[in-house]
Structure 1
Amino acid sequence: MVSKNSSKPQEKCIGVIGVGSFGTVIANMLAEKNQVMVYARKEEVVHEINSLHSAQGKTLNPKIKGTSSPKEICEACEVLFLMISSSGFQDVVQSFAPHLFPYHLVIHGTKGLCLNLEKGQTLDSVKKIKRSQILTMSEVILQETVVVRVGCLAGPNLSKELTQSLPAATVIASKYNEVILEGQSLLRSEKFQVYGNSDIIGVELSGVLKNIIAIAAGALAGLNLGENAKGLLISRGMVEMVHLSNALGGSVKSVIGLAGIGDLVTTCNSVNSRNFTVGFRLANGEKLDEILASMDEVAEGVNTIRVIKAFLETADLRAPITEYLYRVLFENYDIKEALQFLMKYPFNVDIDFV
C-alpha cells in the first residue's frame, strides 16, 4: 500500500541568491516546476516576499519563500542560482562559503569580472593587470568555496521581456554535463529554450564583453547616427570580442553563439539595456557619475571597460572600442570624436580571425 505522503514525488527546493530584476525573473521561472527559496540581505525585503509575494515591488510566485540566512538556504537547497551584481559578488560568495559543500551545484547569472589583487591593491593603484589577476564569476566561486559543480547562465535575457513571458533563450555553460542538464531541466519551457555549452569561460566572457559594445551602441543611437552605423559597430564589436575572448581564455564559438552575438544584438538595440542607456545618456551630454547615481541597478559595462583597459596595458592586443570608451568615460574625451574614429577603424581589414 502506497502511503499518502509517497504517492506524489516531493518537489525539491531551488535556491536563488539575489532579488534584483533578473533574480526575480529566474525565481519565478523556477517556481513553475519547484519550490523556490530566495535570499535577500535586507529583512524588510524578506518580509515583503513572505507576506506580499513581491520583492521591491516586483511580483513573485506565491510558492517562493524568502530568507536572509545563507545557512538556511544552503541547507534547504542543493541547487543554487547566484544572481548578484559583480560589484558585490565576491563578498556574497565569501559570506556563503562556510555553508557551501561539494554536493552543492551553483549556476550564476552575473555578467561581470572581479579582480584577484593583493591586499590593499586597487585597480587605480596597479593600473596594469594580467589575466591571472582577472576572475570570471565561476572562477570566484571555485576560488572562494569548495563547490565543484559550477555553471553560468548567459544570453539575450532582458528581464522586462522575460517578465512578460515573451519568447527567449539562454545558455547554461559548464565543464560538467550534469550542470547543463540540471539547468535545462529546471528552466526550459515552451517559451524559454535553454542551450548547453562546455566553454564556460568563453560564455562568461561573451556576456561580459558585449556590455562594452552596448555602451557604444547607446552613444551611437543618442547621436542619431543611423542603422548603417549601428550595423558597422556591431560587426566591429564582434571582432573585438573575439580577440579579447581569445586573449582571456575563451573560444570563438562562444562569441558567435547565443551568449555572444545573440546577446550583443539584443543589448545594442534595446532601450531596456542598462549599458545601452549609459551610452545614450552620455551622448546627450550627461556626466557618468550623474547617470550611474540615478540608476537602480549596475551597468556592468562601465567596470568591465576599466578592467579590460588595464589588461590591455599588459597584452599585445588592440581593442579600439574599449580603449576609446575608456577615454570618454574616464578622461573626458569627446564622445562624438571617439565614434567618428571608430567608424573608420580598421582601415583595410574586415574579418581577421577565421
Structure 2
Amino acid sequence: MDLRNSSEKKVGVIGAGSFGTVIANMLAEKNKVILFARKPEIVKEINEKGTVEGRQMHANIEATGDQEYLASQCQVIFPIVSSTGFREVIRSFSPFLHPYHILIHGTKGLDLAHHLEEEGQPIRVTREDIKTMSEVILEETVVVRVGCLAGPNLAKEMAMKQPAATVIASKYNEVILEGQRLLRSDRFQVYGNKDLIGVELSGVLKNIIAIAAGALSGMGLGENARALLISRGMVETIYLGNALGGSTKSFIGLAGIGDLVATCSSNLSRNFTVGFRLAKGESLSDITATMEETAEGINTIRIMKQLIENSNVRAPITENLYKVLFEGMKVEEALQYLMKYPFNVDVDFL
C-alpha cells in the first residue's frame, strides 16, 4: 500500500517504553496511531485494556507486533527504542520500508560498529566507527528523509501533561514541518533545526554529565557544585560534539543546554539516578539489574572513552566517570581530581 496518496494516514511509533508511550499518546490526540511492541503481552494489554504496564493509553492507539503491518499503514514513523537494540529493530523493519517513509527517532544513544575489544585487545575507535541513530537508519534502510526528536523531555512530566518543548532536527524541511504538525500543541512547543548530527549528539552527550550530576547529589553537595558541573559539562560536551561533527550552535540550544539542565536537576532522569546510586555506594551491576529501562549514558561513556584515547579532545569528566563506572574509582576521588584539574580558561570555543 503506497500511503503517499492516502487521505487517512496513521502515524507509527516503534517502542512501548516510557518515552515511546508518551509520544504515542501525544500523537494520538490528533491522529490514529499504530504502536509497535516486541512483547505479545504488551500488545494484548494495550489492545484489550488500553494500558501498558499501568500507564493509560489513548483510545486512538492500536498496538501491533507486526513490522510489515505498521510500515504498510504509516508513512511517518517514530522509532523510540534503546540504542543497544536500535540497529536490530531497524534491520527487522527494513524489508518493509520505502523511500516515501519518514523516520523521526527519539533515541538518545550511540551505536558502535564493532565491539570495544577484539580477541581481548582494545581496538582503535574513530568517528567512522561511531554511528548516531540517524546514521543507523540510513545504513540499514532505503529511507532518505530522516530526523530526530531531542530536548528536555522527561517522560513522567510529559505523561502528566506538564508544559514542555522539543527539537525536531533534519536536513529536510519537510521532515521538520511534519514533526511539528504532528506533535505541536498548547502545552508542547516544537522547534526546528537543520543540524541533525549536532542535535542528536546534544541529546546523547548530556547523559554523561547527568550521571555526574546525580553523583554530586548523592554525595549531598549543593547548588554551587551543580552549577560548576553543568557549566564545565557544557564545555566538555561541545568539545566532544565538535569532534564528532556537531555544530556548537546546536549544543547551546534547547536540545543541548536545555536538556542538560533538565537531566542534571531531576531524579526523574535515569542517568541522574545511576550517578546518585553510585555515590550511595551501590555497584553498577546492581544498579543496572534493578532499573526498568536503559540509562544511555553508561554506554555513551564507554564509547566516548575509546574515542578520547585516539584524539586530542579534553574530556576529564567523561574520563573520570569511566574510572568510576568500570575501574573501581570512588566518586569522592573523581571529584577531588576534577576540582584540581587545571581549567585555565572558562570558554574557548566561541
Same fold (TM over 0.5): yes
Is residue 231 from structure 1 mapped to residue 227 from structure 2 by the alignment? Answer: yes
User: Which of 22, 35, 38 is the equivalent residue of 1:38?
Assistant: 35
How do residues 335-354 of structure 1 correspond to structure 2 at under 5 angstroms?
335-354=331-350
Given that 1:14 and 1:77 are in contact with CA atoms closer than 8 Å, whether structure 2 keeps it comes out as yes
> CA 1:127–1:328 in structure 2 vs 1: closer, same or farther (change >3 Å)?
farther
User: Which of 214, 219, 224 is the equivalent residue of 1:218?
Assistant: 214
How do residues 241-320 of structure 1 correspond to structure 2 at under 5 angstroms?
241-320=237-316
SS of residue paired to 2:167: strand
Given that 1:232 and 1:343 are in contact with CA atoms closer than 8 Å, whether structure 2 keeps it comes out as no
Is residue 107 from structure 1 mapped to residue 108 from structure 2 by the alignment? Answer: no
Aligned equivalents of 2:348, 2:117: Cα separation in 1: 37
Aligned equivalents of 1:252, 1:346: Cα separation in 2: 23
SS of residue paired to 2:340: coil
Is residue 19 from structure 1 mapped to residue 16 from structure 2 by the alignment? Answer: yes
Given that 2:117 and 2:123 are in contact with CA atoms closer than 8 Å, whether structure 1 keeps it comes out as no
How do residues 201-212 of structure 1 correspond to structure 2 at under 5 angstroms?
201-212=197-208
| Corresponding position of 2:54 | 57
TM-score between both structures, scaled by the size of structure 1: 0.95
Q: 1:122-156 CA distances to partner (integer Å, 9 max, x unpaired)?
A: 69754430000000000000000000000000000
Amino acid at match of 1:315: S
| Corresponding position of 1:330 | 326
> CA 1:240–1:287 in structure 2 vs 1: closer, same or farther (change >3 Å)?
same
User: Which of 70, 73, 87 is the equivalent residue of 1:73?
Assistant: 70
Moved more, 146-155 or 39-48: 39-48
Structure 1 portions without partners, runs of 5+: 1-8
> CA 1:207–1:158 in structure 2 vs 1: closer, same or farther (change >3 Å)?
same
| Corresponding position of 1:4 | none
Q: How many residues align?
A: 345
Deviation, 1:65, is: 0.3
Aligned equivalents of 1:352, 1:198: Cα separation in 2: 24
Q: 1:262-287 CA distances to partner (integer Å, 9 max, x unpaired)?
A: 00000000000000000000000000
Aligned equivalents of 1:19, 1:124: Cα separation in 2: 36
Q: 1:135-190 CA distances to partner (integer Å, 9 max, x unpaired)?
A: 00000000000000000000000000000111100000000000000000000000
Q: 1:251-272 CA distances to partner (integer Å, 9 max, x unpaired)?
A: 0011000000000000000000
| Corresponding position of 1:29 | 26
TM-score between both structures, scaled by the size of structure 2: 0.96
Aligned equivalents of 1:45, 1:38: Cα separation in 2: 10
| Corresponding position of 1:6 | none
Given that 1:175 and 1:199 are in contact with CA atoms closer than 8 Å, whether structure 2 keeps it comes out as yes
Deviation, 1:37, is: 0.3
Given that 1:229 and 1:343 are in contact with CA atoms closer than 8 Å, whether structure 2 keeps it comes out as no
Deviation, 1:202, is: 0.3
> CA 1:213–1:49 in structure 2 vs 1: closer, same or farther (change >3 Å)?
same
Deviation, 1:57, is: 2.0
User: Which of 114, 129, 138 is the equivalent residue of 2:125?
Assistant: 129
Aligned equivalents of 1:222, 1:343: Cα separation in 2: 17
RMSD: 1.5
> CA 1:175–1:202 in structure 2 vs 1: closer, same or farther (change >3 Å)?
same
Aligned equivalents of 1:224, 1:240: Cα separation in 2: 24
Aligned equivalents of 1:327, 1:196: Cα separation in 2: 37
| Corresponding position of 2:3 | none
Q: 1:7-63 CA distances to partner (integer Å, 9 max, x unpaired)?
A: xx9542000000000000000000010000000111111111111011222110011
SS of residue paired to 2:30: coil
Amino acid at match of 1:306: R
Amino acid at match of 1:286: E
Given that 1:215 and 1:278 are in contact with CA atoms closer than 8 Å, whether structure 2 keeps it comes out as yes
Is residue 82 from structure 1 mapped to residue 79 from structure 2 by the alignment? Answer: yes
Amino acid at match of 1:318: R
- Residue identity over aligned pairs, in percent, reads 64
